Each structure stands twice: as structure tokens, then as C-alpha cells.
Chains A and B, each alone.
Chain A
Amino acid sequence: MKTLVYYETKKIWKRKATWIIFSLMLLCIIAISFVFVSDQAYYGEDGALLEGLDAISEKRNHEHALAGPLDSQRLQKILQDYQENYVNQNYDSNTDYQQSYIKNVQPYWKILDLIRGVYTPYTDYLTDLATFPYEQAGDFYEARHNNVRAALESGSYTAAEKENILDRDSQISIPFEFDHTKGWETLLIRAFSLLFMLLALATCIMISPIFSYEYQIGTDAILLPAKQGRGATACAKIVAGWIVTSIVYLITVFVGVGVIAATFGVRGWNCDFQILSLYSFYDLQIWQVVLYGIGINYIVILSVMAFTMLLSSICKTPFTTVIISTLCTVAPMFFPASQNAVINHFVALLPAKAVMTYSVFSSYDVYSIGKLVITLPYMILLVAIILGALELQIARRKYCRHQVT
């Protein structure tokens, strides 16, 4: 068996497509990190617009100075300061106005945005917050929890589901711990989706030939009659696919997280996830969400591998396999949210959506099986494991019973 796995792994590694997609993927990640960095803009104290790494470090210093727990009084005070020191001032010139923004708003922007999310959640900008009576803003956490309740009331949830979500939401740790979190935000919101879609794509491309290449070049005729050519070879192929997928996964994730950490820094790793996603009802810190994401996405990518293997065992050529598996894997990314809750619940479990860790841990999708209420991350794991195992089983049988014609 070990020898067979060695040869099957070798077959995958020796293929040019494997290397091309792997190097392209790493290049892509490094290239996109440049974009993420150069996107950053922040005003320096002298009013000059900083960009790239300078902007990142200036912002980090400013926000880090505000690090600490965000209790309700502090939040109220920040809102009051914002209104008094910035909104309700008369400015002689544009320069004064800008100076005031740089001093009174820019460092607080992230926190102000959290306050906006609770008190004026229906707008995207701080405009309405400017006139919101700060005297009424002393109950940040209660107001937030009430918003959750209201949202659940207007959604289509069963009583058990509502209770489950509200229960989880009341258990999140408060007050939120604040720090500079731009790096993690970039990683979770921007980099992760790209990283894992690339990985899914690479998995499709690397795994597609696993069975169908043998059919295509006619080696099925010498494999299948051999003693170890059916069951043992099918298992060896699955193990080899798993090894290659895992290695590529590990390296890619390591490089992806590494590049972001190296450019943005790791500050804010122990902040509450709610700093990034205000209404998330999971009691997790950012580093936990990142780790869970990497773990869940590993299983999801393995299920993509299993699906590709299934197709490969059925299709006659790697080309048809890769086309179908890529379409099925990537296309759902472009599915718009549907009006139909059932469809949404289903789409959320597809790999293209399931690897979006930030959305997954922000989502209010929960699944009821009998009396049991299952949250989205668990449901994703459950479905990926069950479907993946099933797909591998079918792929094995399909290959073993393959007819050479």
C-alpha cells in the first residue's frame, strides 16, 4: 500500500498542471497582498495622505493607543466627544476642518462605526450618528442585543432557533476588547475568500486527472487486471490525493496568512470577533475564528477533493472532469442571495460560500434537525464530512467497476 501511495503521489506531482497551478496560486496571493497594502490610506498628523505600509503603521499606532475594553460609558463618551469636538464645531477653513477630522474622527473611526452599527444600523455612514442624541447611547450592549432580537423577530426562525441564537448572543464576552485589527480584517474579509477559492480551484485541477487520466491514456487496461489494481489502487489514489491536497493547503495558507501578518502585523489577534463583525453571535476571539476558519475550510477543501474524485471516476477525460468540477465549485460564489430561505440555507453550505469564514461566522443561518439547532459552521462540517465520505465511496466503486471499451 505504501508503495502504491508513493507512486500515485508521484503521478500527481509529476504533472505540469500541478506545478503551474501551485506556483500561479502563490504568485497570485503575493500579488494580491501588494494590492491590499497599497490600498491602505491614512492621513498623517500634518494632513498629508499616507499610503501603503506608512498608512498601516500610522493607523496601527493611533488605534493601538485606544486599545482596551469598550465599556458602555467609554463608548458613550467617544460618541459625545465626536459630536462636540468634531460635528458641532465651526470651522474657518477647510484646513481646520480636515485637521479636526484627523484628530477627532480618524483614530476613532472603527469604534464610531461600531456605535453606528448599534444606534443607526440602517445607514452605512456616520451621518446619522452625528445627530444621534448621545445621552441615549449609554446602553451599547443592551441595544445591540435588542437589535439581534428584533432581527430574529422579522426573520423566519422557529422558536427554538430564536432561543438558541439569543442564548448564544447573550453569552458573548462583553465589553468588547478593542485594538488595531486591520490585518485580521484584511485577512478574514478580503484575503480568505480569495485564498480558499484559489485553493478549491487548485484542488479541482490537481485532482481531476486522478482516475480519468488513466481512462484517457489507456492505462486502465493494465491497472484493473492487476492484483492490487482495483481496490488497493483506488485507496492509494484517495490517500495520495489527500496528501497532495493537504500539503498544498498547508503551504498556501501558511504563505497567505504569513504575508498578511508580515505586512499588517498581528496586533489585535485577541480582540473579540465582534470588533470585526458586530452582530456575530459567536463568543470567539479573532484568532479563534481564524483557526476555526482554517480548520473548517480544510474539511471543505477535502470535500471538494472528494467531489472531484467522484467526477474523475465517472468522466472519460481529465478535461471534462476539471470543467465540471470547477464550474460546480466556483459558480455558486456568484449566486445572489435568494428570497427563498430554503435555497439560501442550501447555498450557504456549498463550498464557494462555506469557505467565506467571515460570512460564516457572521451569518444568522441555523439549521434545525428535529429539536436540534445546528449553527452554520457545524452544519458545514457535517455536510462536508458526510458528503465527502459518500463521494469517495462512490468514486472507489466507480473506478473498481470501470469497463474498458
Chain B
Amino acid sequence: MELTFDRLTKKFHSTIAVDRFSYTMSNGVYGLLGANGAGKTTLMRMICTILQPTSGEILYNGNNIQSMGTKYCDILGYLPQNFGYYPDFSAQDFMLYMASLKGIYGRAALERARALLEIVGLSEVSGQKIRAFSGGMKQRLGIAQAVLNNPKVLVLDEPTAGLDPKERIRFRNLISDLSQDKIVILSTHIVSDVEYIADQILMMKKGRLILSGHPAELVERASGVTWTLTVPEQEVSFYEKNACICNLRHTGSGAELRIVSSQKPAPEAVSVPTNLEDLYLFYFAEELGGVSSHSARRM
């Protein structure tokens, strides 16, 4: 099973949302990381055939997904960003409706819907109107409907949005359970969501794929860009202006800074192992409103 992206591009008037995205996926969990506006949602919509690419194509086992028609729909599960639902439907109604949309009827639909509501922890409220659900509950319902047809390609757009920390952990486990023999693609701008469950991290910036690899491998490759440095309190503002600080801790003797930078930020800085979050900051520092991590250095 293979999902191949071939120079996939989507333009909206003058903005290029996805820019010549090329990649090949096989079984596993793919974490799509990128700041807001990086093009994650646009990419996922194209994977789900609800948005036509401007150029390029997506192939499933060598076939263009657009021309596969309902055969492709059959193996697809999708949780859209800002999951839309029918407020007057109960969770069970909604699941049964989605089941019939996916071609599952009768007893099979009922059993599958019940089982999934159980798995996502909504079986007790399955009779309640979705209108009354919290953000996290809706999100879990969204995940449940996405896997109704036991999809081979599962696309989850910011699935952890609106979940509290406990729900996040639970969700991670859920994904791990569901991900067997599947291509799971999930997008997020929160590193910790995918750090431990993704087999591959894809980092997107301004529509382009800028980095991909196993989390450990990426971290390995980027060793030597993270530094700690203890400075007197009065120097903190200087570093805030000129370096990309990913953590700041006040100690008795001053402030301990964690800085990502391709160059040693100060002679007394100590190199420490890089983690995925540092790496993310390393690439997205500018978009996060900070200073480019590539240049920060005190002479």
C-alpha cells in the first residue's frame, strides 16, 4: 500500500498553499508539522479529493485518486479541521448516518457505531444531541466517524485541537491502536502530539515540505543546534531580541536560557541534545515572531 504525492501544488489566486509537494507514504503514522498557514489543511483536502490540485497528482498504489472514484472513498477516513456536524443529531444518529454514507447498513452499522462510541468513550452520551457536546467530545466523535469504514488511509486534521491534556494522551493511544496496516496522516502544530507516535515527521513551511524523517533521526541530524546558557538577569532582554529562546528559567544566580541556533550564541554556551520541539522552533522561529535561529549570535 502506497500513497504517492507527485509535485502536488495548489494555488489560491496569488497564494501558493501547497508548493510542489512530493513524497511517498506506506503503512505507518505520519505527523504533519507546520505553523498555521503552512498548507497542512489544503494538502489534506486534496488527499481526501474534496479539493482539486492546481497541478501534480496523488497516486494510491499507482492509480490517480481522482480517477479511482468510490473505490478510493471506500478506503478513506477523514476528520476535517473544524469538524462540521449536525447539531440536532444525537451521537448515535450521526454515527449511523455516517455509516450509511460509507455504505454500511443495518446491524453491521449499529454494532460498528456502538463499538466505536465505546472506544472513544462516548457510549454513555450516545443519545444526547451533539449540540450539547464539548469541543473534546465532538473531536472524539469526529475520530470515531473517520474510522467507521476501517479505512486504509486515515487523514486527521488537527485531531487534538480542543482536547485537554488527559484527552490528548488518550487520543495518542487511540491512534496507535488504530494505526495498524494503515497510512495515518495527522497534522498538528503541537510537537508533543506526534513526537512519540509518529513513524515519520513531515515538516511543512509555506506550502513546501522542508524536512522529513523519523523523529529520532531528525533530532540526530540536527544535533548541535541547542544550547544552554546562564546569564545575569539584565542580559535576558538582549537574548530575547537577538536569539531564539525556547525556554527560560530563572535561577538564583540569573536566568538559564535554552537557545536554538546554528551557531554558538555565546562563548560560555553549552551544547545540549536537541529534541523535536527545539527543531520545530529552529525552523519556525520567524513565524513565531522571534528572531531567525540561523543568525542569533552575540559577538
Task: List the A residue with the shortest CB-CB distance to B106.
Answer: A3
In contact, B103 and A11 (Cβ under 8 angstroms): no
A261 contacts B by Cβ under 8 Å = no
A227 to B: closest C-beta gap in Å: 4
Separation of A221 and B101 alpha carbons in the complex (Å): 13
CA distance A165 to B82 in the complex (A): 63
Bound CA span A224–B49, Å: 8
A148-156, A212-220, A252-260: which lies at the interface: A212-220
* Given known A14-B88, A219-B84, A222-B80, contact A228–B145 (CB-CB < 8 A): no
Minimum Cβ distance to chain A for residue B79 (Å): 8
Judged by a CB distance under 8 angstroms, whether A226 is at the interface is: yes
CA distance A147 to B182 in the complex (A): 82
**Is there an interface contact between B100 and A7, defined as CB atoms closer than 8 Å?**
yes
Residue A172 is within 8 A (CB to CB) of chain B in the complex: no
Q: When the two chains form their complex, are residues B73 and A229 in contact, meaning their CB atoms are under 8 A apart?
A: yes
Flag whether A405 is at the interface (Cβ < 8 A).
yes
Q: Per a CB cutoff under 8 Å, which of A219, A233, A402 touches B85?
A: A219
Q: Are A228 and B51 in contact (CB under 8 A)?
A: no
The yes or no answer to A403 lying at the interface (CB within 8 A) is yes
| A66 interface contact, C-beta 8 A | no
User: Closest A-chain residue to B10, C-beta based?
Assistant: A405
Q: Which of B52, B97, B101 is the one whose CB lies under 8 Å from A403?
A: B52
- Interface size of B by CB at 8 A reads 28
Within 8 A of B (CB), among A377-398: none
- Assuming the contacts A11-B86, A224-B49, asked whether A4 and B100 have C-beta atoms less than 8 A apart, the reply is yes
C-beta contact mask, B44-60 vs A, less than 8 Å → 1, else 0?
01001111100000000
- Give Cα distance in the complex from A229 to B101, angstroms: 6
CA distance A15 to B86 in the complex (A): 11
Taking a contact as CB atoms closer than 8 A, the residue among A218, A233, A404 that contacts B51 in the complex is A404
Contacts of A15 in B (CB 8 A): 88
Nearest-neighbour CB distance to chain A for B60, whole angstroms, equals: 13
Chain B nearest CB from A107 CB (Å) reads: 58
Q: Any chain A CB within 8 A of the CB of B76?
A: yes
Closest residue of chain A to B149 (Cβ to Cβ) is: A227
A223 at the A/B interface (Cβ < 8 Å)?
Answer: yes
Q: A403-B51, A404-B51 are in contact. Are A226 and B45 (CB under 8 A)?
A: no
Determine if B103 and A227 form an interchain contact, defined as CB atoms under 8 angstroms apart.
Answer: yes
Q: Does B171 contact A (CB under 8 A)?
A: no
Complex interface: chain A residues within 8 A of B74 (CB): 227
Query: CB of B24 within 8 A of chain A?
Result: no
CB distance from A10 to the nearest CB of B (A): 8
Asked whether B102 lies within 8 Å of A227 as measured between CB atoms, the reply is yes
Residues on A with C-beta less than 8 A from B73 are: 225-227, 229
Question: Which residues of chain B are near A217, meaning CB under 8 Å?
Answer: 84-86
A403 to chain B, nearest CB (A): 5
Q: Say yes or no: A227-B82 contact (C-beta < 8 A), given A404-B50, A404-B51.
A: no
CB-based contact A233/B84 at 8 Å = no
Interface size of A by Cβ–Cβ distance < 8 Å? 25
Chain B positions within 8 Å of A224 at CB level: 48-50
Residue from the list B12, B51, B70 in contact with A227, Cβ < 8 A:
B70
Instruction: Give Cα distance in the complex from A324 to B99, angstroms.
Output: 34
Interface status of B105 (Cβ within 8 A of chain A)? yes
Which residues on the A side are within 8 Å of B5 (C-beta)?
none
Q: Which residues of B contact A223 (CB under 8 A)?
A: 101
Contacts of A228 in B (CB 8 A): 100-103
Q: Is B78 an interface residue (CB 8 A)?
A: yes
B98 CB-CB contact with A under 8 Å:
yes
Evaluate whether A7 and B12 lie within 8 angstroms (CB atoms) in the complex, with A224-B49, A404-B50 already known. Answer: no
How distant is A401 from chain B, measured CB to nearest CB, in Å? 9
> Of all chain A residues, which has the CB nearest B84?
A218
Docked complex Cα distance between A220 and B187 (Å): 20
Of B73, B105, B149, most A-chain CB atoms within 10 Å:
B73
A233 proximity list for chain B (CB < 8 A) = 101
Find B48's partner among A218, A225, A402 (CB 8 Å cutoff). Answer: A225
Does chain A have a CB within 8 A of B239?
Answer: no
Shortest Cβ distance from residue B16 to the other chain A in the assembled complex, whole angstroms: 14
Asked whether A226 lies within 8 Å of B51 as measured between CB atoms, the reply is no
B133 at the interface (CB under 8 A from A): no
A and B contact pairs by CB, cutoff 8 A, 21 listed: A4-B100, A7-B100, A11-B86, A14-B88, A15-B88, A217-B86, A218-B82, A218-B83, A220-B50, A221-B45, A222-B78, A222-B83, A222-B101, A225-B48, A225-B50, A226-B101, A226-B102, A228-B100, A233-B101, A404-B50, A405-B51
The 6 closest A-B pairs by CB, nearest first: A218-B84, A221-B80, A226-B101, A219-B84, A404-B50, A3-B100
16 extra interchain contacts, Cβ-Cβ under 8 A, other than A227-B102, A404-B80? Answer: A3-B105, A218-B80, A219-B86, A220-B50, A221-B78, A221-B84, A224-B48, A225-B49, A225-B76, A226-B98, A226-B101, A227-B101, A228-B102, A229-B73, A229-B101, A404-B50
Q: Which residues of B contact A (CB under 8 A)?
A: 12, 45, 48-52, 70, 73-74, 76, 78, 80, 82-86, 88, 97-98, 100-103, 105, 145, 149
